[in-house]
Copies of this chain bind each other. A is one copy, B any other.
Amino acid sequence: MEKITRKYQHAVIATDTIIFTVVDDELKVLLIKMNKKPYADCWAAPGGLVKPDESVDASAKRNLFAATGVKDVYLEQLYTFGRVNRDPFGRVVSVAYVALIPSEGLKLKVSSAYDDIAWFPCHRLPALAYDHDHMIQYAVGRLRAKLAYTNIVYSLLPDEFTLTDMQNTYEIILGRPLDKRNFRKKILSLALVAKTGTMSAGKAHRPAALYRFRSRDYKMIQIM
C-alpha cells in the first residue's frame, strides 16, 4: 500500500455528479457557485475528492447526498475525464456520474454547506468551471439515449403520475414532440405502469388517471 501511493502521488481522483431533474417544462441541472480564484462567478457540478478508504461509487453517493440530501436515486457512472490540465489547482482526474431526481423531490433540502446552489435549465447554462460544460453536454446525450432503450424515466417521475406527465418528460428531454396516441399505446403495451385507480384533481380541466410503476427496477427495454 505504502509503496505505490508514496511513489506515485501524481494525480488525485475526484467525482462530479451531473444531477438532472425535470421541472417547469425544462430539463435542469443542479450547480454550485464557485468562489476560488480562476473560477469566481463560475458554477460547477457538485463533486469532491475521493477519500482514501472510500470507493469511487461511494464518493459519488456522498457528494450527491451532500448537495441534495437525497439517497437512493438513480446514479450511474458516466465517463472519466482525465486531461492533464483540466483542473488549474492540480492534476485531478474526475469520474463523472449522472443522477436523476424526481421532479417532486426538489424542494427537499437543496441548500446545505454551499454558498449558492441552484437549478439551471440545460439550455441556458451559466459560465462553468473546469470541463463541466463538456461533462454536462455528454451527460445530456447519455440521458437522451438511455431514455430510448431503458426504463429510466421512472427515476424522474414521482410515485404517482399521469401519462401526460410521462409524455412531457420524454418530450422535454428528447426535445421533440411525440404523438399522444402512439405514446400511450406503446407505454401501455409494455405494461410497465398500472393505474392507481385515483385521479389527478385540482386543475381547470378534466382529471387524468394516475399511474404508478409496477416495478422500479432498471431494465433494458426498447421504448422509443
Q: Residues of A with Cβ closer than 8 Å to B?
A: 1-6, 8-13, 49-57, 59, 77, 79-84, 89-93, 95
Q: Return the 9 tightest CB-CB contacts between A and B, nearest first.
A: A56-B82, A9-B9, A4-B90, A10-B52, A1-B90, A80-B80, A8-B12, A80-B95, A11-B13
Alpha-carbon gap, A54 to B51, bound state (A): 23
Q: A4-B12, A9-B5, A13-B11 are in contact. Are A53 and B93 (CB under 8 A)?
A: no
* B53→A82 contact, CB < 8 A: no
Alpha-carbon gap, A77 to B79, bound state (A): 8
Q: A13-B13, A50-B82, A95-B80 are in contact. Are A89 and B3 (CB under 8 A)?
A: yes
Q: List 12 A-B contacts (CB under 8 A).
A: A4-B12, A5-B90, A8-B12, A9-B9, A9-B12, A13-B13, A50-B82, A52-B91, A55-B83, A56-B81, A59-B82, A77-B79
Alpha-carbon gap, A11 to B95, bound state (A): 13
Alpha-carbon gap, A30 to B34, bound state (A): 45
Alpha-carbon gap, A56 to B50, bound state (A): 17
Alpha-carbon gap, A49 to B77, bound state (A): 21
CB contacts (< 8 Å) of A11 on chain B: these are 5, 12-13, 50, 52
